[in-house]
Amino acid sequence: MSQELEQNQMDQFERLMELSFLRERRKQMKKRLQFEERDIERLKLPKIEYRKGVKFQLDNSYNYDRIKFKDATQILEAKRQAKVQKIKNITMFTILIIIALVAIIYYFSK
Amino acid sequence: MTELQELRTNHHYYASLYRQHRVVVFQHLKQFTKDEAYLADLYQDAIIVLFEKAKDPEFNLTCSIRTYLIAICRNQIFKRAGRAPEIVSIEGERTNYNDWLTDQLEIERQKSQLDKLDKVLNHFESIAQKCYELLYRFFYMKESFSLIAAVMGYTNADNAKNQKARCQKKLRELYLEEK
């Protein structure tokens, strides 16, 4: 019975975590989309007159909804590419050595 | 690559999607209201609904993304006006806006507990980075255990799943200690 109760509490906590991350995600996305909307509205204005000597810090969409960790598929793809490159390099190196050896053998055989 | 696939793989594609369909969706919705700020709010929520649905691998669209977005916005208009038909169906496509709304209501109902958990999570991030990364990847980025295992160096998906359970338990202990 107590095990069932504990499992129930764990499930509730899991749901709470799910909601916590979901809330954060929705908040970040909403901020980003609000920025996009402001940006579209700004572009619709006829002309923005900047006052001389005043520097404006332009907002950038990359300032919004930053993902804390790099996407797993991107990381794996980068690793795969690095591996392919390494194999290519080793193959090229081996071919070069073989060519050099063949050239040396050919030279001395004459 | 279709828009849906792009939405699944690229975390920030929703912002481009927002710009891409905005004009047509707004034109369509102006028959209900001319208030652009209200329409923008609706449309932003519709994009978020679509993004969340797209994360489900079984989710498929038989209509265009634009039609789907308009359907979600129409559902929201009816719901907010208090005369909600359960689901507006366009071309046989059910928008499942209600799932999104159920989560949203639950978030509002559990606000104090969620605020407390956020505080604990912030602390947890600084003391157990690897655990935090695992939980973040699973809950926020919606990555599968096999992907998490591959990227974080666990031997297999089951191992990553066990590790997640351990991290979650540790976090729960901190949460219960927090006043």
> What band does A98 get if pLDDT is binned at 50, 70 and 90?
very high
Between the ranges A1-10, B29-38, B52-61, B111-120, where is the mean pLDDT highest? B111-120
pLDDT digits (tens, 9 = 90+) for B99-138: 788 888 899 999 999 999 999 999 999 999 999 999 999 9
Query: In this structure, what is the dihedral angle of CA atoms B53, B54, B56, B62, given to the nearest 10 degrees?
Result: 90
Is B118 at the interface with chain A, CB within 8 A? Answer: yes
More confident residue, A89 or B60: A89
pLDDT of B81 strictly over 60: yes
**Quick check: A19 and B114 CB within 8 A?**
yes
**Chain A CB contacts of B121 below 8 Å:** 20
Residue from B44, B152, B168, B171 to probe the interface with A (highest A Cβ count within 10 Å): B44
- Please give the average per-residue pLDDT across B35-50, as a whole number: 92
Count of other CB atoms within 10 angstroms of residue B167: 19
Side-chain-facing half-sphere of A40: CA atoms under 13 Å: 17
Q: Are B91 and B62 in contact (CB under 8 A)?
A: yes
Of B44, B51, B171, the CB nearest to A34: B44
pLDDT of B75 strictly over 90: no
Of B47, B110, B140, the CB nearest to A16: B110
H-helix or E-strand spanning residue B97:
helix B97-109
CA pair distance B141, A110, nearest whole angstrom: 66
Q: How far is A89 from chain B (nearest CA, A)?
A: 24
